[in-house]
Each structure stands twice: as structure tokens, then as C-alpha cells.
Amino acid sequence: MPAANSQPRRARSGNRRDEAARLAVLHAADDLLVERGFGNLTVEAIARRAGVAKQTIYRWWPSKVEILLDTLIEDTEKRLPMLTERTTAESIRGYLLGFARFLTGDPAGKILLALIAEAQHDPGTAESLHKRYLGPRRDQERDMLVRAIDAGEVSPRLDPDATIDALVGPIVYRALTGSSIPSGLVDTLVADLLLPR
Amino acid sequence: MPAANSQPRRARSGNRRDEAARLAVLHAADDLLVERGFGNLTVEAIARRAGVAKQTIYRWWPSKVEILLDTLIEDTEKRLPMLTERTTAESIRGYLLGFARFLTGDPAGKILLALIAEAQHDPGTAESLHKRYLGPRRDQERDMLVRAIDAGEVSPRLDPDATIDALVGPIVYRALTGSSIPSGLVDTLVADLLLPR
Amino acid sequence: MPAANSQPRRARSGNRRDEAARLAVLHAADDLLVERGFGNLTVEAIARRAGVAKQTIYRWWPSKVEILLDTLIEDTEKRLPMLTERTTAESIRGYLLGFARFLTGDPAGKILLALIAEAQHDPGTAESLHKRYLGPRRDQERDMLVRAIDAGEVSPRLDPDATIDALVGPIVYRALTGSSIPSGLVDTLVADLLLPR
Amino acid sequence: MPAANSQPRRARSGNRRDEAARLAVLHAADDLLVERGFGNLTVEAIARRAGVAKQTIYRWWPSKVEILLDTLIEDTEKRLPMLTERTTAESIRGYLLGFARFLTGDPAGKILLALIAEAQHDPGTAESLHKRYLGPRRDQERDMLVRAIDAGEVSPRLDPDATIDALVGPIVYRALTGSSIPSGLVDTLVADLLLPR
DNA sequence: AGTTAAACGAGACGGTACGTCACGTCTTGAA
DNA sequence: TTCAAGACGTGACGTACCGTCTCGTTTAACT
């Protein structure tokens, strides 16, 4: 067994999309958002930090928002799993606590907040955010809730979507206003809104 | 022969601050936000629209965010009055419905949403927004709620601030995500979170 | 007899240089120069127009200037023949008129003007242009003139190279400045500069 | 008490055009053209070298060609004076020698050659060059020649414009091809083309 | 009544980032 | 080995706004 790969360096892409460049961009955007904030997040800075040409970014992403969405989607899948099994009030409480931790403690949570914010400034962002993130996620959450209702585990007074907004809204709002999210808040929301009176 | 003002023009101020210019800036900012969105709201565009020199803006406002805050504060006082008299579950319900209408229907509501958004991108905005708007307003809301609790009109399970977030959060969240706010949502929030089980 | 060459297409070369590709590049460059001007002549446009990969161009030509030189040389040989027989004042006059027509009327004349121009901007172009075109051509012209002098047909007051510049310079200069070249100009140049006083 | 003005610094423009910036741009363009050649002359490099913002250049000049034209016109007036008095064959000879020296020895001469070149690549340049430089200059030269003809000092066989092209063309052509311009060439052109046979 | 000082419109200035274009180099996979 | 295809790092393009800075004018308040 001789030598083998003396200088690995970078694989240099050639004809195909360069996966290393893709990841470098996603990580650079994530890092810069956390370090410098969205207001200082520029495409040029991402390119600089990622060691990538600006054109490489524009070739694959129509805007920095889509970069963040890509990161957000990948990270959410890894770090904020949906409930797939039997759903109870208790497991929903666990999901909401996980979501609160995600929003306030995880870098990806900052991305979500930044995108919700940017969606207020730019209709294109709003559309992408709904189509690629909020919509699909909401579909899974609604499913989760409906399964619990059908099983008789919970009995909300509102339709499923309004119920989810009533549960998630306070968590998001406190995150947006920089407040912490005490577990007692989540407990009471679940108790008051989901359980029979 | 008196003749009198051939060209009235504008009553050029001279030594004192020009109130007409101040109002022109506030209205220009408001109009542009509604027409073009925050993303297209620039100081240069405000100056252009207001017929004012850029320097006149920078002389009186440190940033466009403060312009919007000025407008927001004035408009909120006019169009979203606080409860000053006896507070009941019913009057809180009315206040929340008014707040929902303000957020989704009033141009000033768009300003508040834009500022909450911008606060995610820029710490200075966050500080100003809390100090000049969210903080004072929250003080009044807390007062309002405490008066109702003391009078035995409502009995929330959470401390006052968390209670208000639980009531207001879903409304803000639906406004941020572009959903309408059905009155049934407000009714149920009040019933489930404020009234005794 | 079945099938047989279903798609003749292009006789894709495989191992050897593809002559069709070479010609496609030369013609594309020529056409684009005439249609769009040198300022809009890019390697990418040539490749696009020729239906050829960019790398195929870079494999065979160090720069777009060399492409144009190849075209220019081929076209000059075809369309601007040198005098090979006996040379007289009259035949030199004919050569100069042909040169004037070439410069102002022939697409290849535009190439020569473009290359003389580009040589002012880039030393590499200047070197190539002299080595591959102007130098050899000047050698033939000098020969032509010297033969006429030796035969007593003409008697210029200047050395051969300066004489040729004095004859050719006005023609090139008028072409460069977009003027036409009246035959009277050529006649007078020959009469005043070549014939005895 | 003499002294005064402790820190002159830069006058900082304010409302009016900044003359220092204008001159810095003209000189930077001139210097860069001579040092690096037209091919390496970019607006960004001019701005960098002049210590000026790119926008300041675009505010006043539509292209780098116009910058060079400004420099060329100013320098030509200073360093290549027209004949204003009585014109003779001898004074025309002097003018042509001065022109030859200007073209080959003066930095501004390089600018003229570069602009003649660029005019081949871009029609806008051609138009500007003619309107702002070649045209007016030619008017003066024609005047000069006609005065000499009317005074009986010279008797060209061609119309004035063609005569000037016949005199100037060889000089420009040799400059374009990088040759020197021996004074004998000018002498012979004047003798053969302007003096009676 | 004459002087002073602030506010105003206008807009030039040095900057940063935008999104696009073409450069010349590289790699893949088919012929 | 050549070719079509096309991704890549590089760097300039011309534009939009940023926030700062005079300039010359206007006018209220203070000598």
C-alpha cells in the first residue's frame, strides 16, 4: 500500500456542481448571520468567508434568502424532529418545548426569526418562506394535532390551524421580542387550549 | 395696491424647525412603506417624496427607523386607544379585537410589523422599539390586566406579562404570516386563558 | 440495407483536430466582428455562435486576436494579391487602389483595422500583428517597390520603407477616421512621391 | 503675522464640483494609460489611483474615453500650438514635426493613438473623438493650409482635406506601427506634396 | 434697523454592495 | 486525444444609497 493522495486540497469541480462550495456557502451564511446579524449579511461577505466566487452564489441561489432557507431546512430536519408516533398532550408539550429551545438557543432558530422578519420587508421572501418552510411544516403539525384529536387525547376549542397558531404564536412572539420562554408558559398553553375544560 | 402673495410656495422656516417639513417626512415615509414596502424604503426616496433635503432628515432623525417610530407612536395614540376605565374580560376582548384590526387593516399596523421585523436585523432598532413603543405600551397593558385581576374579573393561570404574550402572540404571529385574524380566535383565547376553568 | 447514418450531424472527430470546428470558429469570429464590432467580440460569443466549446478555442488559439489574424491572413491571400510580375508606377497605383478597396469595403479590411487598433492597447497583439502580418506583407511590398526602382519605373526621394509608409499611411489614416478614399488621392500620391519631378 | 492656514488639507467640495477631484482623475487616467496601457485602464483603477469614489467619475464622465478626451484636449492646447500667423511651407513643416514629436514623445500623444484605436472598436468613441477633437483640429489645420495657398506659399495638387491627410497620414501610421518618424520623411512630404513641381 | 445664527434646498463627495458579464482554467464523459 | 458542456475563481462593469460635508438663501430673534 503506497503513498496515496499526497495533496488532497480541494477536489475542484469541473463539470459538476461543487458540493464543497455548496456547503461552504451554507455554513458561511449561517456563521455570518449569527456573528454579525442579518443587517450585515451581504452576498459579498458570504462569498469572501466561504472562499467562493460571488458568481458561484448567484449561479445557484437567486438571493441570500434562499441560502438561509436551504440551511434552515437542513438544520430543522436534523434538530427539530416532528412527532411521528402516537400523539398526546404530553408529546405536543414536548414538541413545543423543543421548538422554543430551537428558536431561542439554536443558530438555525435565529435564521427562522430573520426570515420571518425579512418576509415583512420583501414579498418574494414571504412567498419562499411559506412555500418551502412554513407551509410544509404546518402540514405536519396539523397532522400531528389531528391525530391527537382523533385519538381523544386533546380537545381544542378552535380549528386545528388556529389552535396551532395559538400555541406557537406566543412562543414566536417572545422570541421576536427577545424574551425567554419559560416552560410554565408552554405548560399552561397546552393545559388551557388543548385539554377539556 | 396690496397684491399679496403672488407665489405662496411654502412658508420657508428660517430660524426655527419647519413643522411642514417634519410632517412631510413622516407622511412620505408612511406612504412609501405602504406603497413600496420596507425593502424599498430609503432615506433618499423619503427626501425626494417629501420635497426635503436629505440633510434635513439627518438633522432631526438618526435613522429611518426613528421616522417610522414617530409616525407609529402618533398613529397608535389616535387609532388604538388603551382602556382607561373599568376592565373586564369583555373589554379586554374588545381591546384585542381592536389590536387585530390595527395590525391587519391600518397602515400604522404595517409600520409596527415592519419595525418588529427590522428589530430582528438590527439591535439599535430593537432597543428603540422597546424603549419607545413596546415597553410603554406593555406597561399600560399590564396595568389594564392587573386592574381586571384585582377586580376579580379575570383569573389567568400565568403571570401578567406571560398572559399578555399568550393573548397577543397569536394575533401578531398571524399578522406576520399574512393570515387573517378571525374573531373566534380572540374569543377563545380570552375564554381559555383569562376565565376560570 | 437497414438504417445507415441515422444522424449524420457533424463527423465528430475523435482523435484528430476537427477541421469543421476550426472553420466554424474563424467564420464566427469574422461574422461577429462585422455584425457587432470588436468591442462586443468575446470568446464566449464566438464559441456560442460557432457551436463549439470554449475550451476548443483555448486549445488552439492563445487569444481572440490570433483567431482574427488567422482569418485575416487567409482572406488577404485570397482577396488582395501582391504584384508578382513586372512592377510599374501604374501597377503600384493599381495595388494601392486594391488596398484601399480592401480596407474600406472588405470584411477582412475591418479585421485589419481592428487589429491595428488592438495593437495600440496590447503589446502582445502588436507583436503578433507585426510578426505574422505586417512584417511579411511589408517585405513583399518593399520587394515590389525595389523591383520598380531597379527597372527605372519609379524614382522616389525616400528610402523604400518610408516611401511605402508615405503611400499607405494616408490610405490607412482615412480608413481609420471613417473617410472614403477617392482615387484621385492615390493618383496624386503616386505622381508626387514616385515619379521624377 | 504670516503663517495662517495651519491644515490646508483638501478643500472638501460641498455643493460645488470639486476641482481637485477632477484633476486627480485626469492625471490618474493619464498616468495609468502610460504606465499600464489602455487594455489595463479601468474606471476602478482610475478611481483607486485618484483617491476618488467611482461614482464621482460616473457623475461627470460618461465613460473613460471622455476622461481621456478631456486630458487630450487640455494637453494638446498646451503642447501642440496651432500656427496663427503667416503660414509658409516652412512653418507647415515645423507644425508637422511638432505633431510627430507630440505623437511619439508626449504622453498625450499616446492618448490620441489610444483613442484613434478605441474608435475602431466603439462607434460612440468614434463620434466623440471626431466631434470634440479631430473635427475642430482639422478645421484649424485646413484654415492654416488655405491661408498658405491664398498667399501663394504652397500649391498642393489635392483639395485641402486630402492634402492634410496625405501629410498627416504617414506620420500617424508610423506612430501606430511603432516606427520612429525621421525628419526627412516630413521634409519630403512637404516638398513633394505642397511645393510646385 | 442691522446683525447673527439656525434651518433649509441642493447636491457633491468617499464609500459599500448590488447583480451581471466575460475572462481563462479546470473536469467530466462520450466519441 | 479531441470535443461539448459547463462549473469555478477572478475582477470590472455601471447603479443605488449610505451618511457627511459644504454652499447660498431665508427668516426669526437679538442686539
pLDDT tens column, D81-118: 998 788 999 999 999 999 999 999 999 999 999 999 99
Nucleotide nearest to A51 (CA to C1'): F9
Does residue B22 reach within 7 angstroms of strand E, measured from its CB?
A: yes
What pLDDT does residue B186 have?
98
Restricting to D residues 5-44, those with a Cβ less than 8 Å away from any Cβ of C are 37-39
Task: Look over chain C and give the mean of its residue pLDDT values, rounded to a whole number.
Answer: 93
The mean pLDDT of B115-138, rounded to a whole number, is 98
D chain contacts of residue C42, beta-carbon cutoff 8 Å: none
Question: D180-189: long-range contacts (C-beta < 8 A, 24 or more apart)?
Answer: D180/D104, D181/D100, D181/D103, D181/D104, D182/C162, D183/D97, D184/C158, D184/C162, D185/C158, D185/C162, D185/C165, D185/C166, D186/D93, D186/D96, D186/D97, D186/D100, D187/D93, D188/C157, D188/C158, D188/C162, D188/C166, D188/C193, D189/C166, D189/D96
Task: State which residues of chain D have pLDDT below 50.
Answer: 1-10
Q: How confident is the prediction along chain A (197 residues), in pLDDT tens digits per residue?
A: 333 333 333 455 678 999 999 999 999 999 999 999 999 999 999 999 999 999 999 999 999 999 999 999 999 999 999 987 889 999 999 999 999 999 999 999 999 999 999 999 999 999 999 999 999 999 999 999 999 999 999 999 999 999 999 999 999 999 999 999 999 999 999 999 999 97
Whether chain C has a CB inside 8 Å of the CB on D171: the answer is yes
Nucleotide nearest to B58 (CA to C1'): F19
Shortest CA gap A156–chain B (Å) = 10
Q: Are A73 and A132 in contact (CB under 8 A)?
A: yes
Name C residues 136-195 whose Cβ lies under 7 Å from strand F.
Answer: none
Whether chain C has a CB inside 8 Å of the CB on D197: the answer is yes
Does residue B57 reach within 7 angstroms of strand E, measured from its CB?
A: no
With touching defined as 3 or more inter-chain CB pairs under 8 Å, the answer for chains C and D is: yes
D172-192: per-residue pLDDT in tens? Answer: 999 999 999 999 999 999 999
What pLDDT does residue C99 have?
98
What pLDDT does residue C76 have?
97
Confidence of residue B11 (pLDDT cuts 50, 70, 90): low
Q: Which domains does chain D have, with CATH numbers?
A: 14-61 (1.10.10.60), 63-194 (1.10.357.10)
Nucleotide nearest to C17 (CA to C1'): F2
Q: Are A191 and B157 in contact (CB under 8 A)?
A: yes
Chain A interface mutation, best of B159, B177, B190, highest count of A Cβ atoms under 10 Å: B177
User: CA D130 → C1' E19, Å?
Assistant: 35
D171, exposed or middle or buried, with CB in 10 Å at 0-12, 13-18, 19+? buried
Inspect the interface and report whether the beta carbons of D119 and C38 lie closer than 8 Å: no
Whether chain C has a CB inside 8 Å of the CB on D59: the answer is no
How many residues are given for chain C? Answer: 197
What pLDDT does residue B6 have?
38
What pLDDT does residue B1 have?
37
What pLDDT does residue A4 have?
37
